[in-house]
A and B are shown apart, each in its own frame.
Chain A
Amino acid sequence: MIRIYSIISLILIGMIFIYVADEMPAFGSPDNQINNRVYDRYTERSFEETGVTNIVTAILAGYRGYDTLGETTVIFTAGMSLMLLFSRWKNG
């Protein structure tokens, strides 16, 4: 019974993927989403927009601030759960 359910769900998910794949941009097309030239803005205007000369830091903490906040939260959560798991401190 589980096998039938899994086959049905696989077929459904596969149908969704095939349906979505039809909407994908053409391979190597210059109008693709990744070719929207956002790096031109980073290289040319990152200093006047964020005041940081290092473009990597400008992107990390300026343009992608939410992402970095999430990364820091992930590290914080890892430390916190470690503390909860091994809460014995005195002997190790």
Chain B
Amino acid sequence: MANGEITSIVIRTVSRIIIPFIQLFGLYTIIHGEASPGGGFQGGVILGTSIILLTIVFGLEEAKRRIPRGLILVFMSLGLLIYSGIGLLDMLFGGKYLEYTRLPLPLPAHEISALSILCVEIGIGITVMSVIILLFFYSVRDEDAHGINA
């Protein structure tokens, strides 16, 4: 077993079961943020927390193998791109920046706005999740490493 990995079979099994549910709850918090308490920031943190649990239990090497650095970089930028892209799309169709109701969809204005807000929340969630994972990956101490930052 590699360093920084918990060997207890109880913890490993429970984590394996509970991680998908944490991620499901995070997705619920993002998507249901329009109607209940929640939103992009909170849901993104919950999604990031599931990866933190994975890192604690299965070790840093395993977590980095599952989530490559390039993927985090892409997701981090993608979330912001979704948000600002919706704003630019509104400008393209003749509205102001982030004036949601101007998108040419066959829906009433307030539903277009709700849809845009959902996309905005998803964008926030993706960015927050990636930054949380990145922050933990860089601040966790790997016993195997030889370096100043370790």
List residues of A whose CB falls within 8 A of some B CB: 47-54, 56-58, 60-62, 65-66, 68-69, 71-73, 75-76, 78-80, 82-83, 86, 88-89, 91-92
Query: Interface centre among B60, B114, B141, B147, by most A CB within 10 Å?
Result: B114
Chain B residues near A (Cβ < 8 Å): 33-37, 39-41, 60, 64, 69, 73, 76-77, 79-80, 83-84, 87, 97-98, 100, 109-115, 117, 120-121, 123-124, 127-128, 130-131, 134-135, 138, 140-142, 144-147, 149-150
Q: Which chain A residues border B73 with CB–CB below 8 Å?
A: 83
The SS class assigned to the B binding surface is helix
- The interface centre, meaning the residue of A53, A66, A91 with most chain B CB atoms within 10 A of its CB, is A91
For B141, the chain A residues whose CB sits under 8 A away are: 92
Docked-complex contact B117 and A61, CB < 8 angstroms? yes
Please pick, from B37, B115, B123, the residue contacting A72 in the complex, using a CB distance under 8 A.
B123
Determine which residue in A52, A56, A57 has the highest number of CB atoms from chain B within 10 A of its CB, and name it.
A57
Contact B138 A65 (CB under 8 A): no
In Å, the complex CA distance between A86 and B139 comes to 10
A86 touches B138 (CB 8 A): yes
CA distance in complex: A91, B60 (Å):
10
B97 → A minimal CB distance (Å): 8
Interface contact A54-B114, CB-CB below 8 Å: no
Most buried by A among B77, B138, B144: B138
Q: Which 8 A-B pairs have the closest CB atoms?
A: A51-B110, A51-B114, A79-B131, A65-B98, A91-B145, A92-B145, A61-B117, A51-B113
**B135:A82 contact, CB within 8 angstroms:** yes
In the bound complex, residues from chain A placing their C-beta under 8 Å from that of B120 are: 61, 65, 68
Indicate if the CB atoms of A91 and B39 lie closer than 8 Å.
no
Closest to A85 in B: B138
